[in-house]
Each structure stands twice: as structure tokens, then as C-alpha cells.
Structure 1
Amino acid sequence: MLKVRHFRSSSMISICLAMTAGLGAGAANAQSADSADTGARANAGDIIVTAQKREQRLQDVPATIAAFSEESLETRQIKGLNDLTTRVPSLVMGYQFGSNQITLRGISTGLTSGFEDASVAVHVNGVYQARARSLDLAQMDLERIEVLSGPQGTLYGRNATGGVVNYIMRGPSDKMEAEFTGNVGNRNAYGVRGFISGPINDKVGFRITGLWDNSDGDVKNLLAGAPDKNFGGRKVAALRGVLAFDPTETLRIELEGTYAHTRSSYAPTALAPSINPGRAAFLKPQTYRPHKVYSDLDAANDTTQYSATGTITLDVSDNVQLKSISGYQKYKNFMSVDYDASGANAEHIPSSGHSRTYSQEFDLNTEMFDGRLKSIFGMFYFNDRYTQQTNVFSSLFGGTNIDVYQANFSQKATSLAFFTDHTFSVSDRFRLLAGIRFNNDKKKGNLNIRGQCTNVNRDLEFEAWTPRAGVQFDVTDKIMAYATYQKGFKSGGIGSGTCGDTFKPETIEGGEAGLKTTLADNRVHLNIAGFWYDYKNIQVQKTLGTAGGFQVQNAAAARIKGVEASFDAAITDRLRLDGSAMVESAKYTDYTNCSPADFLGACSASDTRPVSDPTRNKDLQGNWLNRAPPYSVSIGLEYSVDVAGGELLLRGESYWSGKLRFSEFADPILTQKAYNIQNAYATFTPANENYILRAFIKNIGNTNYRTSGFFDGFTFQRETTWGAWRTFGGEVTVRF
């Protein structure tokens, strides 16, 4: 077996070059066929995407985009954000204190209060998702996923310094149809989902989708008689309805409503004993084994979400289209976490929050000068009100289950933006790209921490201009080259962990240059891109190491650079090979901070050592950003064969990730070494396509790998969240 721990960046660059050369040879030898006869699986580059807020063929977009069609989502059993990690070369998913942590090209957020802005924006049918704790709820009726890597400040605004994930949901179908799917799997997994869709008359269509899903977690609770036997499982009930109206040939109105309720549980596991001898003695019983924990708490992470979306599209003329996207979201969450990762009652944290969010976007797409100038003009408004209460219960200080901490925080955030973006064809082959966005953000917060501060108010305002510029050149009819420059901006804010804590906006600027190629009669797509960014005022959640508190501060600067490559090749009409690779460097260039894991009181406010004392504050220049691997590689192979009057599609995948750091201090205990996982899938479709049978197994080798890690300043110990163990199952889909 390949030992990925010995890989080096030079080795990965060699792999990228070898793949490029090999595909060029493969393209020359590929069997020629008309694209209409090759099939959808052979033409992944022909997926139509809306990444630039207008429909384009994937291979024509001057940016790095990973797009997954409906067929690909079903074949690869992509059910959540975690399933995308092995398919997008620079994507890393983490999970901490109920929050999804998305990293793209080394850019992510490490803040977990629930109030933070994301570094990777998530949109569902064009509506921005404000809560990092609710991102999995949108994935029950997917038509397509698009992942845009790198800053997208012009078209997507302040929340897209790392990139964008777009979920495009299915709409009403042109003819009446229904589908029902039942699934079973290990860890008591079972569920059903289905839809009915079609026209009501020649001007109105509908779609109704329902989902029920259940699974147990893979973190085993070793405490006898505990209320929870495992953690990490979830139960989901969801319902979605869509009505589409076409009152005229040029006007379309689509109304969508979604309800989703998720019940899950989360418990971090310990990696090493507490550095505080007294607390280490108290935190008993305890284990440091993967996927094992002692916990006496009835854990919960229950989320209810309602959303409503209204989309109006008006074709003003053949060259002018106006679109309005209105979104409303109501979110409610209750979470109770045993944060001490032991059988003792040392740190039980219940937290409840609720929010109401409204957003409105107008997009005006135009074409002028015989289609040579394609433009978009837009306006975006966002209004979010969020309230949260967090408590800490502990018996560390005597008694039983004493409420030792309570924080109440509420925030109103508004954002107003205006943007425009243009593509001008100087000639049939050469295009100029330019755009700019103006963003104004306002945040008002009120904080009360019992025993520390009362009625602390903060009123902040931030403004930013984020331009884009670039060139695009068709070297041949099948090879496109591009180079772009882009700025990004993430709003500053108000910290909820300490009294009066505020932090500045993040900024990022840099560029990307790449090639997109279509070879061998559209049977091979090979794309490669290089990127480089200067990243400043990075928002970092600093553990104080006093009573479990934290504050948000701005690290000075980092530099990110790397290369990505991806390919999709139909070697024959039945055999397909696809894959991707990434090499990157994501390091701090200017950052000084103290490490609470060094010794007790290392980051205490009462520390009398001078700030310049190297034993108090460490120079972290050259250290890696969190969750930024130096490389990743994925390879997939599909083969279809005719059996039993139908088609059997077999797919195998392998994914390698380089070392992941979960601490800016290069803490070896908070580091995940390089790892490799494999997945396999089988899909049988009869000739009449009345039903489909699927089977899958993920993480075949049962590899232990971590998706997050942190130092808890209350228990003074290092803790982690583990990636999913081996998962297998099957499903049957019946079509009517």
C-alpha cells in the first residue's frame, strides 16, 4: 500500500505533470465518437453552470469550478458537504461545536460562536445561507452542485473570500412523474424519500418532495448506563414544495417553501490528558482512542428551519433579462454538548439560538454590440437578526451541576451591495473581463455575561470595494486560457466570548491563471490552474486558557499559492477515468500569539510577562494555516456492462490527503497525518428504467482520520472530531 506520509510537494507536482502528459496521450488514442452518442458520463465538461449568474458551459467559464450533475450526485452517493471533500481538490470539511467548517484553498473560518460570517459562502437556489449550523439541510432534492474555488468578491460579496458552494434544487418537470427511494445501511441507517412533480395546466407546474432519514453515530459511548450509546447520528424530516408559473412566454415565477427538522448529537473526543493535573484527575473515566468517549450527558443538536424563496425571471427582450430572488429563513437550534469528553460533569454546555433572515437580490443580465459585451448589474440586500444563550454547567467547583457561566448575545446584521461584471469579446478568441462590487455592512450587538459585563453594546460599520479583472483567450477551438485578478472581503464583527470584543474585516487579493481543454472529440476534459493570494487580518478564535473563554482577534497576514488539476476522460464508451490533484502552500507571513497548551496561564490576562517575551508570544511566521493540506489527490474509475437486461455501473475511488494542522502552533497532537480512503459504488438500471438499484461502501479500509481539533481552555485538554468510519448500504428507487 502506498505510504502517503512520505509524499513531498515535488512528488505531487510530478504526479500533476504525469497526469497531464498521460491524458494528452490518452486523448490522442481515445476512440472518436460524436458527443451525442457518447452519453452524459462522457461529457462532464458540457454541464451547464450558473457560477457567473448566467448560464454557461462549464469549460467556458474562466475560473476553477467543480460541478456535479444529478447523475453524478446519485452515482457517488453525495449526501452532504462531507461527501464533497474527496471530490473537490482544495476542499476540506470540519465540524466543531455544531458548526460546519468549510475550507477552500486554505481559506476558512475557525470561529464557532454561530454569529460569524463564513469564508466560503453557501447558496441554495441563489439564496445565501446565513447559518453555518444549517448547511446540510438543503440537500434533499438536488439537481446540481457547483463549487467555485478562490475569492468571489465581485459577484458573491463579503462572505466568499475562500469560494462559493451553489446548490441548485430541482424544479417542476414538464410531464407528470413520481419517484420513491428507500435505503438501508450499517449503524441502523434507514430512510425514505420521494417526490411527485408535473404540470397542473399549461402555465402552472408543481413539485412536492419529502424526506425521512435515520442513522446512528460512529462515536461509541463507553460509559455504562449513559443516556446516549453513541454520538454523531441524526434523524431528518423534511418537506419541500415548489410552484412555478409561466403567465407569459417571457415571465416565469417560482415559489418555493422548505421545512426541515434535524435531531442529531455531537461529542468531541479527547486526544491527551489535561495539562492541569487537578482537572486531569477529575476527568475520569476517560479514553483517548478513536471514535470512543465516556459521556454522562444526554447530548442534542436539534435544528428546525423554515425557508421561503420567490424567484421572478423576466425576459425584457432577447438580450435583456431581469431576475429577482427573494429569500426568507427562520432558524431555531438547541444544542447540548459534553465538552469535557469524560464521564465526569466538568463542562456541559447547553446553547440555544434562533434567527430570522431576509435577503433580496436583483440581477440584470444584458448583451450588447451583437453579443460581444455580456454584462450583469446587480443589487443585494441582507438583514439578519440572531439571538443566542450559552451556559456552562460543571461540578468542578463543588456541588452538582452548577451553572458557572451564562452569556446572552443578540446581533442585527445588515448588508447592502451593488455590483457589476462584464465580459467583452475584443475578437472571436480574445475577451476582457472586468467587474467591481461595493459592500456596506452594519452590525449591532448586545452582550451580557453573568458576573463579567451587563448590557454591552457595539455598533460597527464596514465598507469595501472588491474589483475583478482578467483576460480570456481561446488558443484553439478546444483550448481556453485565462488569467484573473480578484479581491475579497469578509466583514468584521463582535465577539460573543468576552466583553466588548470586536474584530476587523478580513481582506484577500490575488490571482488565478489556468487552461481548460477539451480533447478527443469531447471525450477528454483536462483543466489546470495556478493561484496565489495575500490574505490579511485573518480572524482567529483565541483560547484564553482562564475559564474556558475565547476572543476573536485578527492575525496579521498569510500567503497562499498552489496548483490544481482535474480531468475527466471517456476512455471507451463504457470506461471512464476522472480525478484531480492539488499542491499548495498556505502559511502565515506575520503572526504572533500565545499558545494556551504550553502551560497553565500561558494566555491569561493576568500574565505579567512582557508581550515581547518569546515564552509568552510565539512568532508563527512560516506556520501553516489550519485545515490546509499541502496536497490532495483523488482518482475515480467507472465501468458499465450490460447484465440481466439492463446496465450495471461500477465505480471505485481513492483519495489521498496531506497533513492537516488544527492549530497554528504546529501542535503535533492537534495534527492529522496524511491519510488515504477508498470508496466503491454499484448501480443497476434496467432497460425500461422503471427502477434503480444502488449499493455503496465508503472508507473501505476503516481509516481513522480527524476533521477538526482544538484546545479547550476550560478543561485544558486537546480534543477532536473524527471523520466517518466505514459506511455501507443500499437503496432502491422506483419510478412512476
Structure 2
Amino acid sequence: MRHFKRHTLVGAVLAAAASAQAQPMLEEVIVTAQKRAENVMDVPISMSVFNESTVEKLSARNLTDLGRFTPGVEMNNDNALQPTYTIRGVQTNDWTVGSDPAVAVYVDGVYAARGAGAEAALADIARVEVLKGPQGTLFGRNATGGAIHIISQPPVFEREGRAKVTVGDYGRLDGEFMVNAPLSESVAVRLLAVSRNRDGYLDNLTGPDQSEQNSDGLRASLLWDASANTEVLWRVEYSELDQNGGAQFTMIDSVFENANPGLNHDPFGDIANDFESREEREMFATSLEINHEFSGATLTSITGWRQFETELLEDLDGSNNPDYYFASSNPDDNEYFSQEFRLTGASERLKWTTGVAYSRETVEHLTTAEFNFSTLETFAWAEILRNSTSATSQTFLSALAGLPQEQIDALDGLSNSEVGQVLPAYRQQLKDRNLDGMAMSAFIWSFLNDEGTLGNFGISDNPVTGLFQILGDVAPRIGAYESWVEAVETSGTYESYAVYGDATWSLDERWNLTGGLRYTYDDKSFDLFTQYQNQIAGADFGLAFYNNGQPMLDTSQSDTWDAISGRLVLDYHVTDDVMGYASVATGFKSGGFNSLNFGPDIDSSYDEEEVINYELGTKGAYLDGRLRFNAAAFFYEYTNLQELKLLGAPIPSYNLRNADAEGYGVELEGFWLLTENLTVSGNYSWLKTEYTDFDIIEAAGETAEDDLTGEPRVGTPENKVNLALEYNLPVGEFGEVVTRFDYTWSDERVESLTDPTRMVDAYDLANLRVTLLPAGNRWEVSAWSTNLFDEEAVTVFGDNGDAIGSLTGWRIPPRMVGMDFLFHF
């Protein structure tokens, strides 16, 4: 049966279009969330779907643009090479290669194991499916929060083409070119070239502007109808990215202003960096999908290969202040192979799917952190000010500036960002007393030595010996702003095996019962080597990766994890157009390895994550198909949640630990064709999350404040609202003008594990698009604006610079305007 899968999809769309000609109604949406083509209204899973038309109307160029308009979902690609995807509050905040993501991203049925290889241009796609809640049965491991599936347009047996040019402010010039052609009666090919180019919108006083876009990609797909029952689809993709992106900037007035005399700090104004943030990636991906239809069943084989090399350079303190200099380099080399065999079938009352899957990922990652020796002193200063009520701190501060007791008490318990505000004043007091670098360092290091902390680094804790051991070494290097370099090199080989089955049994004409199970076994090996370029007085001393002087490491580890995931769903069709469902589903995220730190009571590997989700939902079409409304209410419990957190004093470092959490909420989504020309759509999500257990790692200097039990999880607003209006205005015989207005409002949210009181303020965004669409649809012209009202908001904060008092942030892009010119041939 030639083109049987393609004909199923095309036939459903044509049937919906024919019905719409008779009576205005919303277009039917076909998805493959359950590994078979189905109307989205018949799938008992909460999900949001964006087809190619919607992506165009939202002026969306990546997943983050779609995430802004998706209920219960947050996406962030401020770093395109370290994006984060959050569904219902579930995410992974670890950027290292020792762990896996909690939201699975698939591209044409192939898992994109790392976020660095998932972000690509949304061009010539069929749809993007965002599935919410654990998808452990059909999508497998690392889908505890949900799954995102990007499906590209397949070749068709018709000659068609498309050329698109986009121009806009900030020097935007984008181009897309697609051509599709049958090569014979049984072979068709589809080719796509896409280029995205835009100048940076962060004006940098000390270097190139940041947050630019510069990427190019090629995609080819070949469809071969090998026989009446066999279809072969081969896809290949290559892309390059090279841009000044991923830039963060300091949010601390004094850090900026002390390095830029005469300039006032504005978090939405110019930035100043002393290290050029840059993102580079070269990626190649290919897959081979074979579908063979038997009598009543279809065998599918999907073989995938993805390989990429990246380099991420970051100014982590977000400033040009040499006392806070903190930069990093993160090259990655990743190769991923996967093979899945799937058998699906259906009878009058039973639909079923079973399969086996195997994957092998090899990773190589090097993180290099670079400081000045003055940054080392800043770490110490921050610790002194945060603990100002200790006896030694009070003696130190009184001797330094003759401060009255009430001023000293007022310093106690400062947050890292507050330390950044007051720290320059104390440095200046030392300078005002004409103290040279040796004497300045003596104040700092005598305090640390008196506290006994230097003994953790192999430096003598004798007050006299220890002090003179370091003063002659450190002070001159601080004054000269000499560099300090540390590195951690990691590599791993991760293999995963799975077998699964899922079936839907029609109990009668109204009731359906779905059950599924998946067994997953992961086998991982992991190598880690740490090193640093500098020493203090001959002692091993690490700032970035080694809490309280942990020694250099050269170690190999291995571990295995396994889990059974499943789902049980009961759905009831009240009418042919209205369905309700109740489900229980579980998910599994593989365990991993602590990539950045080892120490007392810090395990080298950590447990797998597990989640169980309970959900009630309804999907329905009303008013003769002109109104579609979906609703879902859910509650989930999370066990062994993997969290990356800064720990330790006086010099904090990153550690992974396990925590437990829970969440519950409601999601609403509606589409209403009010008239033949006016469509209103919108969605709303309400979400509450909370840590129910937060294990304490017994690291030196850690206090009870590190227990976040009862606190909300980071990164997701409690309330989120999206609204859209689309109006088609007929213009005589010429054609029509299509106007679309999109609006989103996000509530405030917690954005830091390090400081759970730090909130991202509520903000709203609006997009506007006006399209001139002539009869015949041979060409179209659109004028558009994103962030129409030029909203200013900082949506993400960085913990790295915050450790030394230079809290950094990323802000949303400003208002942008442009025009699209589209030609079909």
C-alpha cells in the first residue's frame, strides 16, 4: 500500500478541509503522541501542538519562542548550547555531562540526548508536539517532565518549492529555501537550506555586542516506496552556529560602576565585559526510518545518529571589573547512536504497540574556569561579610574601619548579591589607609587563618606560619591581577536498553482502557580528571570545582540503574466529540555522576529520579466544531530529584544531591471560531510545587539554611495566561489580510536554589503580525513585531558570579520589528 502513512495523514487533513467548506469549523489536528496517527482530541494525554502555520504566525524561530505561549511550560535558550526545558515545574538544572535532562526532546523520532544538539531552526516542520507529564512508557527514560517532539515535513510526490526572506532591525537577514520533487514514481526528495543572522541587542562598551544570532543549516530527506507495503525514509541534517551569544551581565551597581567611572548602572542598558561570550557548534544528524505493513500490523525500524562539537565561552561575572574576573570555556564532543524496532497493530477493539530500543552515547567535556587572584580575595571578602557576627569577623571589621557594633550587626547574613553592593566600599577603606597589597592581603588571610579554614587547603593553621606562608605568594599576584586557571575533564559512555508494550482496549463504544509498561536498563561508565594551573604556597587550592581544598582527582567510575515505567488510562467518550480521561503514569530519569566535586559524604554517583503523576482531563469539540476546549488537573510526586547547588564555605562549589518534591496544578486550553473570519484562542496554567525533602550534604561550612524543604521549585510561574486573536479580512478579489495578536503574561517565580527568596518579577509580552495573502497563495508579505510594547524583564539569574557577589542575569529580547517575504513555486 504505497505511501500508506503519508496518505493517512493527508487524508485526514483533506477530510477536515472538505468539512470546513461546508460549515466553518476548526481544522483537525493529527498527532503521533501514541506512536500512531490520531486526532489530538482522541488522545488521553495533556499536550500542546504547533503546526507550521502557527509557528509562522508566532514569528517563532526556536523552541523558546514556542515555550512562551505554552501553558505549564517554560523554555530558555539564552545559552543556545545549554538550553533548559521545564514542563510543570520539572527540569534539570545541571549543565554537566554527568547527568541527563528531565524533558526528552525528539527530532523525527530520534532522541536528542543533549540540549546542545536539540536547539535548531524551526523551518519546514510539520508540527511540534509538547507532551506534558511523564512519558516513560512510549518515549522512555528522561521524560519525567514530559516530551517535546519536532517533526519535519516529509517528501511528497508533488513538485513544490518555497523561498522566504526576512529582514528586520538589529541587522536581521534570514533566508529559507525549500524544494520538493519526485525523482520517479517511487522516489521523492525534499531539500531545505536555512540561514539566521541578526546583530546583538546587548550593547557592549568593551567589545562586540552580545546576544546575536548567526547560524546556517541544510536538511535533506529521501522517501522511497520500496514496495506496495514498504516505505523507506532517510533524513540527513547539517548545521553550523557561530555567534556572540549566551551573554550574561552583572546586576550589581557597584560592580559595574567601579569599573566604569562616570557611568550609572542600568540592568537594561549597556553592558561591559572583559571576556567575550561566544557559542560555536557544528552538528550532523541522520536517521533511517523503515515501515513495513503486514496483515493488520506495521513494523517500524528507526536508526539514528547525532554528532556535534561545541564550544561555549562565558563571562560568568558579567562585568569588566578585574576584582570579579570569572570566565569559563566549555568544549563538548558528543556522539549518539540509537536503534528502535516497533510493531503496531489494530483490530476492531484493540490497538497495541510493542518495541525494543537501544542507545549508546559517548561524551567528552572540558570545563576550564579562569579567575584573577583578586577574585580569590573577593571570595574571602564575601565570606567575611556574610558571617559578620562571628567573633573573628567583628574583630576584623572593627580593626578595618572602626565600625560601630550596630553597623557590623547590619552586615550579618547578607545575600551574595548584597555582598557585591557593599564589598567595594570595604576594599576602598583599605586603600584609603594607604595599605599596600601585602598589608591588604594580611587583613584577609589572617582572618581566614584564624577561622581555621586555610588548614582545609593544606596550609599551616598556625596563625603566624600559615599567614607568612601565603602573604608573599598571594599579595603580589593580587596586585598584578595574575590569572588563576582550573579545569575538570570528563568523559563517559552511556548505554541504555529498553523493552516496552502499550495497548488500548475498547471496552464498548464509549469506554477505552489503556495500559503500558517499559523496562529500562542503563549502564554508564564515567571518567573524571581535575587540574589547576596555580598553587598558593605549594598547597593544592581549588575555587571552582573543589570544595574546601579537595585534592585533584583522576578517577574512573561505573554504575547501573534500572526501572519499570508505566501508565494506566481510562477514557470515556461522552459524545462523539467530548471525551474525559483519568490516568496514572510514571517516569524514570537515569542516575548519573557528580561532575564537579567530590568530598566527605558526597557520593560519586547518585540515584535515578522517579515520578508518579495522577491526572484528570477532558477534551471536547462544541458548537458544531467551532469551539474546542481542553482541561487537565494533575498531581505528581517526585523522588530523588537531582539538583545542582552551590555548597561550602568560604569558597562554595557545585554539588549534585537528591531531593523529593511534589506539584499540582490545572491547565486550560481553548480555540473558538467566533465567525468565519475571527478566531479566539487562549490557555491558562496554575501550578504549585514544593520540596518535600532536601537532603543535607555534610560539607564544611554548610548550615541548616541549605534545607529547602517547603520551598517552591525554581523556574516556573504559579500563573501563566496566553491569549490570541486572529482576524481574516477579505479584500475583494485580491485575497485577504490576516491580522494576529498574541499576548502572554507570566507570574513571578523563584529563580535560584542558592537564594530561594530571589524572584523573577511578573512580566507580559505581546506579538503582532499582519499578513497580505493574495488569492492563489503564490506569495505573501508579512509585517511583524515581537515584544510589541518593549517589555523589560530579567527572567534568569546566574549562580556562578553570584558566589563572589556579582549576581548576573539574562533579559528578554527587546521589541523587534521586521518583514517576511514568502514565495511558493
Question: TM-score higher than 0.5 here?
Answer: yes
Q: Could you tell me how far apart the structure 2 residues matched to 1:174 and 1:642 are?
A: 32
Question: Aligned pair 1:378/2:482, yes or no?
Answer: no
What CA distance in whole angstroms lies between the structure 1 residues aligned with 2:202 and 2:58?
A: 24
Q: In angstroms, what is the RMSD of aligned CA positions?
A: 2.4
* Contact 2:177–2:192 under 8 Å retained in 1: yes
Q: Per the alignment, do residues 39 and 166 of structure 1 end up closer, same or farther by CA in structure 2, a change over 3 Å counting? A: farther
Q: C-alpha displacement at 1:572, in angstroms?
A: 0.8
2:595 counterpart of 1:496: yes
CA distance change for structure 1 residues 142 and 43 in 2, over 3 Å: closer, same or farther?
Answer: farther
**Which of the numbers 476, 485, 507 marks the counterpart of 1:404?**
485
Kindly indicate whether residue 566 of structure 2 is the aligned counterpart of residue 467 of structure 1: yes
- Equivalent pair of 1:356/1:386 in contact (CA under 8 Å): yes
Distance in 2 (alpha carbons) for counterparts of 1:509 and 1:256: 35
The one-character-per-residue Cα deviations of 1:102-136 (angstroms, maximum 9, x if unpaired) are: 11111111111244311111101000001112322
Contact 1:535 1:558 survives alignment (8 Å): yes
Change in 2 beyond 3 A, CA 1:96/1:68: closer
Matched, 1:164 2:147: yes
Taking only the aligned residue pairs, the percentage that are identical comes to 27
Shift of 1:281: 6.9
Q: Report if aligned partners of 1:215, 1:233 keep a CA contact under 8 Å in 2.
A: yes
The separation in 1 between residues aligned to 2:22 and 2:704, in whole angstroms, is 59
- Which has the larger Rg? 2
Contact 1:468 1:484 in 2 (8 A): yes
Within-5 A mapping of 1:234-249? 234-249=213-228
Farther-moved stretch of structure 1 (135-144 vs 283-292): 283-292
Give the Cα–Cα distance (whole angstroms) in 2 for the partners of residues 440 and 359 of structure 1.
Answer: 14
State the distance in 2 between where 1:460 and 1:339 align.
33
User: Which one of 667, 671, 691 corresponds to residue 564 of structure 1?
Assistant: 667
Specify whether residues 521 and 418 from structure 1 end up closer, same or farther in structure 2 by C-alpha distance, changes over 3 A only: same
Q: Which among 231, 241, 246 is matched to residue 262 of structure 1?
A: 241
Note the 1:383-532 alignment, pairs <5 A. Answer: 383-397=360-374, 398=477, 399=480, 402-451=483-532, 452-499=551-598, 501-532=604-635
Distance 2:689 2:629 in 1: 25
Task: Kindly indicate whether the alpha-carbon contact (under 8 Å) linking 1:186 and 1:727 is maintained by their aligned counterparts in 2.
Answer: yes
1:663 matches 2:645: no
- For structure 1, the residue ranges without an aligned partner over 5 or more in a row are 1-32, 595-602
* 1:145 to 1:291, Cα distance in 2 relative to 1, 3 A: farther
Any conservation in 2 of the 1:75–1:683 contact (CA below 8 Å)?
no
What SS is found at the alignment partner of 1:554? strand
What CA distance in whole angstroms lies between the structure 2 residues aligned with 1:142 and 1:187?
Answer: 26
Query: Aligned pair in 2 of structure 1 residues 664, 390: CA closer, same or farther (>3 Å)?
Result: closer
CA 1:282–1:550 in structure 2 vs 1: closer, same or farther (change >3 Å)?
A: farther
Letter in 2 for 1:248: S
On the 8 A contact 1:189/1:216 being kept in 2, the answer is: yes
Deviation string 1:137-172 (CA, Å, 9 cap, x unpaired) is 253321111110111111111110111111110111
How do 1:648-687 residues align onto structure 2 when only pairs under 5 Å count? 648-664=737-753, 667-668=756-757, 670-687=758-775
Deviations 1:172-224 (A, max 9, x none): 1221111111111111111111111020010000011101110122222133x
- CA shift, 1:477, in A, is 1.6
Relative to structure 1, the CA distance from residue 110 to residue 559 in structure 2 (aligned partners, 3 Å threshold; closer, same or farther) is: same
Map 1:639-654 → 2, pairs under 5 A: 639-643=727-731, 645-654=734-743
Distance 2:27 2:594 in 1: 43
1:294 aligns with 2:254: no
1:393 to partner: Cα distance: 2.0
CA deviation string 1:499-555 (max 9, x = no partner): 473221111002111111111111110111101000111111111355563111112
1:399-442, CA deviations, whole angstroms, 9 ceiling, x for partnerless residues? 55635201111011111111111100010110111000000011
2:291 maps to which residue?
Answer: 313
The partner residue of 2:342 within 363, 384, 393 is 363
Match of 1:57 in 2: 39
Q: Check conservation: 2:634, 2:664, Cα contact below 8 A.
A: yes
Change (3 A) 1:707 1:185: same
Q: State how far apart, in whole Å, the 1-side matches of 2:771 and 2:726 are.
A: 11
Alignment of 1:156-195 (within 5 A): 156-195=139-178
Deviation at 1:703, TM superposition (A): 1.2
Q: Mean Cα displacement is larger for which, 190-199 or 261-270?
A: 261-270
What secondary structure sits across from 1:157 in the alignment? coil
Query: Aligned in 2, Cα 1:212/1:42: closer, same or farther, shift over 3 Å?
Result: farther
> Partner residue of 1:352?
331
Match of 1:724 among 803, 813, 821: 813
Secondary structure at the aligned position of 2:119 is classed as helix
Q: Which runs of 5+ in 2 are unaligned?
A: 1-14, 375-476, 533-550
Contact 2:136 2:588 in 1 (8 A): yes
Query: How far has the Cα of 1:273 moved from its partner?
Result: 6.2
- The corresponding residue for 1:148 is 131
Shift of 1:360: 0.9
Contact persistence 1:45–1:59 (CA under 8 A): no
The offset of 1:296, in angstroms, is 2.1
Alpha-carbon distance between aligned partners in 2 of 1:140 and 1:161, rounded to the nearest angstrom: 28
Q: Distance in 2 between matches of 1:636 and 1:326?
A: 39
Q: Is the CA contact (8 Å cut-off) linking 1:146 and 1:167 kept in structure 2?
A: yes
What is the distance in 1 between the residues matched to 2:87 and 2:27?
Answer: 22
1:632 aligns with 2:717: no
Give the total of aligned pairs: 677
Secondary structure of 2:799's counterpart equals strand
- Residues 676, 78 of structure 1: CA spacing in aligned structure 2 closer, same or farther, 3 A cutoff? same
Residue 251 of structure 2 is matched in structure 1 by: 271
Closer/same/farther in 2, CA of residues 114 and 132 from structure 1, 3 Å limit: farther
**Residue pair 1:524, 1:569 contacting (<8 A) in 2 also:** yes
Residue 296 of structure 1 contacts residue 343 of structure 1 at CA under 8 Å; is this kept in 2?
yes
Query: 2:217, 2:50 → 1: CA distance?
Result: 23
Which deviations, in whole Å up to 9, do the C-alpha atoms of 1:283-328 show, x marking residues without a partner? Answer: 99994513642102232110110001100011112x2001111110
Paired residues of 2:488 and 2:529 also in contact (CA < 8 A):
yes
C-alpha distance 77-394 of structure 1, shift in aligned 2 (>3 A):
same
Deviates more, 1:630-639 or 1:708-717: 708-717
For 2:277 and 2:753, the matched residues in 1 are separated by 30
Q: State the distance in 2 between where 1:373 and 1:496 align.
A: 47
Indicate the SS of the match to 2:33: coil
1:606 aligned partner, one-letter code: A
Q: CA deviation at 1:563?
A: 0.7
The reply to whether residue 691 of structure 1 matches residue 779 of structure 2 is yes
Normalized per residue, the structure richer in strand is 1
Q: Which residue of 1 aligns with 2:51?
A: 69
Contact 2:368 2:488 in 1 (8 A): yes
Find out whether 1:538 has 2:515 as its counterpart: no
Q: Is the 8 A contact 1:382 1:415 kept in 2?
A: yes
Which of 678, 685, 693 lines up with 1:575 in the alignment?
678
Q: Which amino acid is 1:116 matched to? A: S
The worse-fitting range, judged by mean Cα deviation, of 714-723 and 186-195 is 714-723
Q: What amino acid sits opposite 2:109 in the alignment?
A: G
Q: Which residue of 1 aligns with 2:387?
A: none
Q: Which residue of 2 aligns with 1:587?
A: 690
TM-score normalised to the size of structure 2?
A: 0.79
1:117 is matched with which residue?
100
Aligned counterparts of 1:145 and 1:209: Cα–Cα separation in 2 = 18
